[in-house]
Amino acid sequence: MARIVVPEAEALLDQEIPVLDKGFVRLVDYLGGDARIVQAARVSYGEGTKTFRQDRGLIHYLVRNEHTSPLEQVILTFHAKMPIFVARQWVRHRTARLNEISGRYSVMKDEFYVPDPNQVRFQSASNKQGRSEEALAEADVTEILDEWTEDHRTIYAHYQAMLDKGMARELARANLPLATYTEWYWQIDLHNLFRFLRLRMDPHAQYEIRAYGEALSRCAKAVAPIAYEAFEEHLQCCVKFSREEGAALLALLDGRESSLEGRAKQLFEEKLAALRARTGVGFDAQAPEG
């Protein structure tokens, strides 16, 4: 059987997609596409390719009902460059294969992430692990970024001096900061890439890894556009409600008050706001009076 070739993916091969100030994502290779998903799903009863409409319906059915194995037949390989702190979030997705540059064998480059001034914001009061929408004062941002850059220059100079004295690379690298850029080759199947994108493109994810998620999503969409359409429809843009929240939603639709209070009510209303944003449909989170 001939290799499946997707023109949109071929056009992206080996093209660096810039991310942050010095990073990138590059699609190195891919195996399969929408056609491979359809072939894998239909192999059990031996039917060949059908119409585009039928293939699209089948892929949406698979994603909607979490029949994941046909999507695992599609594999993407990336070369990516990111700050170490982004890599440590990224690597928590353990369903991929990767090879990272090693500071034991190689001298780490003098490349450090410097955030855009607009991203230097206050700690969020409601999200303990994130930043708020409010930026620091311009003078404070300038001072912070100047110190940030100078600290990196100083630390790298010390790192280089350690190497010049003959100190082992494996130990000298330990003094480098989390903003140091690293690189790796990362291979993952489409199903698990969608799981990655659903988490890392979420508005609650850290801005820096969201930027990489956007670049990876561009590649996934090129390789398997119908599957990516189904991902957006049934996974990325959906909102999950608990049983209690489902009852509250039904009450709202019936014009009744829900029993939710306090934090539970706040989370429910945040989900309704997310649902409005993702669907573009207005929805009143408060039950009518009377």
**Burial classification of residue 261, based on how many CB atoms lie within 10 Å of its CB (0-12 exposed, 13-18 middle, 19 or more buried):** exposed
Contacts (Cβ under 8 Å, ≥6 apart) of 175? 155, 158, 159, 162
For residue 53, what are the CA distances in angstroms to 16, 58, 64, 74, 130? Answer: 33, 9, 16, 20, 42
Backbone angle region of 166, left / alpha / beta, with phi > 0 → left and psi within -120 to 50 → alpha = left
Angle of CA points 155, 158, 159, to nearest 5°: 85
Rounded Cα distance between 101 and 94, Å, is 18
Would residue 200 show up in a list of annotated catalytic residues for this protein? Answer: yes
Rounded Cα distance between 220 and 252, Å, is 37
Considering 26, 36, 173, 200, which one is annotated as catalytic? 200
For residue 139, what are the CA distances in angstroms to 93, 117, 119, 132, 143? Answer: 38, 11, 14, 18, 6
Please identify every residue annotated as catalytic.
200
